[in-house]
């Protein structure tokens, strides 16, 4: 399997993941205050959304790379 097919399959898989999940979330810990021996931290959950058009474009680009003949 050549590199072009691998990239095409990765694009298709990423596009399908983007449509299925819609994004991902992660947690950040921020330091809020130190009052004597008391330390206050705060965990915040943040979410990154994938645009639907980007997921569809990745699938279309990957499929085009598999179907269309290479020039060279």
Average pLDDT across the chain, whole number: 91
Dihedral sign for Cα 33, 35, 36, 38, please.
negative
Q: How confident is the model over 30-37, as a mean pLDDT?
A: 85
Residue 35 has pLDDT above 90, yes or no: no
Residues 18 and 55 sit within 8 Å (Cβ to Cβ): yes
Choice between 35 and 55, residue whose per-residue pLDDT is larger: 55
Give the integer Cα–Cα distance in Å for 54 and 58.
6
Find where tokens 């994004």 sit: 23
Cα–Cα distance for residue pair 55/61, rounded to 1 Å:
10
């Amino acid at each position: 399997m050549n590199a072009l097919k691998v990239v095409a399959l990765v694009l298709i898989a990423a596009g399908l993941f983007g449509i299925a999940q819609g994004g991902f979330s992660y947690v950040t810990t921020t330091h809020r205050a130190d009052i004597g021996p008391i330390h206050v931290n705060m965990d915040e959950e943040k979410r990154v959304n994938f645009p639907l058009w980007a997921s569809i474009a990745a699938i279309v680009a990957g499929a085009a790379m598999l179907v269309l003949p290479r020039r060279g």
